[in-house]
Amino acid sequence: MIAPDSTTTIDLVARFPSVVTPDTRPGYSGWIVDPAHLTEVATAIRNEFSYDLLSSVTGVDYYPDKMEVVYHAYRTTGGPALVFKVQIPRHNPVVPSVTPIWKGAELQEREAWDLLGIRFEGHPDLRRIFMWEGFAGHPLRKDWKEPFYEEDVKPFKSRWPEGKHLPAEMRTPLQDNLFFPPGFDPEAFSFQDPDQAAYEALRRQHRPTDEDGIQTDVIIINMGPQHPSTHGVFRAAVMLDGETIIGLKPIVGYLHRNHEKIGERNTFLQNMPYTDRLDYFNSMSNNFGYALAVEKLMGIPVAERAEYIRVIMAELSRIQNHLVWFGMMLNDLGAMYTPALYAFEERELILDIFEATAGSRMMCNYFRFGGVARDVSEDTLRKIHDLVHDRLPRKIDEMDRLLTENEVLVSRLKGIGYLSAEDAIRTSMTGPMLRASGVPYDIRRADPYSIYDRFEFDVACHPEGDMYARYQVRMDEVRESIKIIKQALKQIPQGPIMSVKPSYQIKVPPGEAYGRVEAPKGELGFYIVSNGQPNPWRYHVRAPSLINLTSLEMMCIGEKIADFVAILGAVDIVLGELDR
């Protein structure tokens, strides 16, 4: 069940006459704000209407008319979104930045600048984020074509119905995935390190002086992109005074594989397997978010049995994600391997269940619009039953005994990487990171989706705001997930697993939808715009891994460089989702 969109409960037009108009396009909701007054309206939305959590900021290119920037704000006390938009011309689009109001917009505005070329005035550090400085063009603009461009939308005619196609290399002049502007002379090209801009930004923000006002020496070191503890190809430029961190810039994009551009060429159903590869630990949760968004657009219900299967799979996915997190966290703290091996042992059991139901260990591609792809056999349900009633609680208690009171763990985690509740909300943190700062905000409770309102469970929350709290929140969450699965297994009915007839090509009416789930890493949202065609016009993923990095610098400043690895580990990033 999706909560009804009740943006009408507050009336922005009455508060800002002639500045705000309701969005009356069919299938759309929310408010359109005059760009010149955006700062004023956004300040009121945050301070007067208390929409303190800015969840998603993204741009849409309505080629050839205009650009639009879409904001989704929430209250941390719960309830549906307040959606507001600004519309700007496509040529030289400029919007005032909302970063001074919600710091959580920082990385998302950089993303919109990089991929769509929307300039945000007043942004403290507006640089490209995924592509490097100097890359030609803004790829998500509808008139920008990638080198291997074949047609605007899939299925490409050469594949179907013609059934004959040449490899992409044979269609491009350089026989490769390359495009150079005409007249570009590679010999005359002088290479400038694209990273210099990041170092400059770091130096600009931090001018360290000691107590006497004398300039002291600092060094910038790079961690990553090939570093054994950065959980993938993440990189951070860290500014150090001695061993103490005084500044930090995440440098991302090393796994930017163009999810959104490819997603706008795919049909709606073809995107489902791509969502698996976002957060590759939790393909089930990713499927869940995407299915919710498209179902919202289509206005179709979900089969009752499928709802239960979805919840069971998403919670199993959360358990294995957190188990791996325990193992990797301890790896980062130097307890090489033993906890990780324990965690992977249990994870394999959950992957067996995924393999039995969906056919694949990691890339499940299991959800369909209106239900799920295959039914779960009685045998598998019994296996899940045994797992959550016996093995998993036992193993989690074992891990609890091994780790929670462990002196090394406690002394490395307690009081390190502090983030206050206000800062956590201001930087749009979600998921365990927000709850470890004492904000009991869990989408399953705050804005229930699917059938989560039928289950008894507690929202894990710890007020300390340090890394130990982040550890405890995840330990509690695993237990709550087991509780949810136990209830779901008791209540699961027999019946069909699809509410509609399965088909390859679905009809999606024009409009927009934002579907979000409480993924193990935070709020995973999918913003989808359809224009009635078989392909989404805009397909945007609100990635918790990326947005949770907004506060990384805050948490690290004043800590030792040795703790950086652990602080980063505690955020729980995954690069497939971060860079997309």
Partner 1 sequence: MNPKDINLPGYEIPEELKHVIAITALDRLYNWGRRSSVWPLMFGLACCAIEMIATQAARYDLARFGMEVMRPTPRQADLMIVAGTVTKKMVPAIVRLYNQMPEPKYVLAMGACASSGGPFKEGYNVVAGIDKFLPVDVYVPGCPPTPQALINGLILLQKKIDKESIKQVRWYRKGPDSVAIPIPVLGPDLIDTRRIPDIKAHTLSSTSKTDDQS
The contact set with partner 1 (CB under 8 A) reads: 130-132, 134-137, 139, 143-150, 168-169, 173-174, 176-187, 189, 191, 194, 225-228, 232-233, 253-258, 261-262, 265, 273-274, 277, 280-281, 340-341, 344-345, 347-348, 361-363, 575-576
Can you tell me the distance from the alpha carbon of 346 to that of 390, in angstroms, rounded to the nearest whole number? 12
Q: How far is the CB of 183 from partner 1 (least distance, A)?
A: 4
Cα separation of the two ends of the chain = 29
Can you tell me the distance from the alpha carbon of 440 to that of 451, in angstroms, rounded to the nearest whole number? 20
Q: How far is the CB of 565 from partner 1 (least distance, A)?
A: 12
Q: How far is the CB of 571 from partner 1 (least distance, A)?
A: 18
Q: How far is the CB of 92 from partner 1 (least distance, A)?
A: 14
Residue whose CB is less far from partner 1, 121 or 345? 345
Of 217, 269, 213, 289, the residue nearest 516 (C-alpha)? 289
Q: How far is the CB of 353 from partner 1 (least distance, A)?
A: 14
Q: How far is the CB of 280 from partner 1 (least distance, A)?
A: 4
Residue whose CB is less far from partner 1, 161 or 228? 228
Can you tell me the distance from the alpha carbon of 103 to that of 34, in angstroms, rounded to the nearest whole number? 21
Give the pair of three-digit tokens for residue 217: 């020496």
Q: What is the chain's length?
A: 580
Residue whose CB is less far from partner 1, 191 or 212? 191
Provide the CB-side half-sphere exposure for 494 (13 A, CA).
1
Q: Which residues, 6 or more positions from 106, have their beta carbon under 8 angstroms from its beta carbon?
A: 99, 123, 124, 125, 550
Residues 126/110, Cβ–Cβ less than 8 Å? yes
Residue whose CB is less far from partner 1, 83 or 198? 198
Can you tell me the distance from the alpha carbon of 546 to that of 557, in angstroms, rounded to the nearest whole number? 19
Give the pair of three-digit tokens for residue 557: 């400043």
Mapped onto helix, strand or coil, the DSSP state of residue 264 is helix
Q: How far is the CB of 30 from partner 1 (least distance, A)?
A: 31
Query: Taking the alpha carbons of 426, 431, 435, 437 in that order, is the dihedral positive or negative?
Result: negative
> Where are the alpha helices (H) located in 277-406, listed in sequence order?
283-298, 304-333, 338-358, 378-386, 392-403
Residue whose CB is less far from partner 1, 79 or 273? 273
Can you tell me the distance from the alpha carbon of 386 to that of 396, in angstroms, rounded to the nearest whole number? 14
Residue whose CB is less far from partner 1, 39 or 158? 158
Residue whose CB is less far from partner 1, 177 or 491? 177
Q: How far is the CB of 178 from partner 1 (least distance, A)?
A: 5
Query: Taking the alpha carbons of 254, 258, 260, 266 in that order, is the dihedral positive or negative?
Result: negative
Biggest alpha carbon distance in the chain?
76
Residue whose CB is less far from partner 1, 146 or 400? 146
Q: How far is the CB of 493 from partner 1 (least distance, A)?
A: 34
Residue whose CB is less far from partner 1, 135 or 504? 135
Q: How far is the CB of 172 from partner 1 (least distance, A)?
A: 10
Q: How far is the CB of 564 from partner 1 (least distance, A)?
A: 16
Q: How far is the CB of 273 from partner 1 (least distance, A)?
A: 7
**Rg, Å, the chain Cα set:** 24
Residue whose CB is less far from partner 1, 347 or 542? 347
Q: How far is the CB of 316 from partner 1 (least distance, A)?
A: 16
User: How many CB atoms neighbour CB 180 within 10 A?
Assistant: 13
Can you tell me the distance from the alpha carbon of 388 to that of 316, in angstroms, rounded to the nearest whole number? 9
SS (H, E, C) 175-204: CCCCCCCCCCCCCCCCCCCCCHHHHHHHHH
Residue showing tokens 């010149």? 36
Can you tell me the distance from the alpha carbon of 274 to that of 261, in angstroms, rounded to the nearest whole number? 12
Q: Which residues, 6 or more positions from 373, have their beta carbon under 8 angstroms from its beta carbon?
A: 358, 365, 366, 367
Can you tell me the distance from the alpha carbon of 285 to that of 307, in angstroms, rounded to the nearest whole number? 13
Residue whose CB is less far from partner 1, 512 or 572? 572
Residues 417/404, Cβ–Cβ less than 8 Å? no
Residue whose CB is less far from partner 1, 262 or 557? 262
Residue whose CB is less far from partner 1, 156 or 507? 156
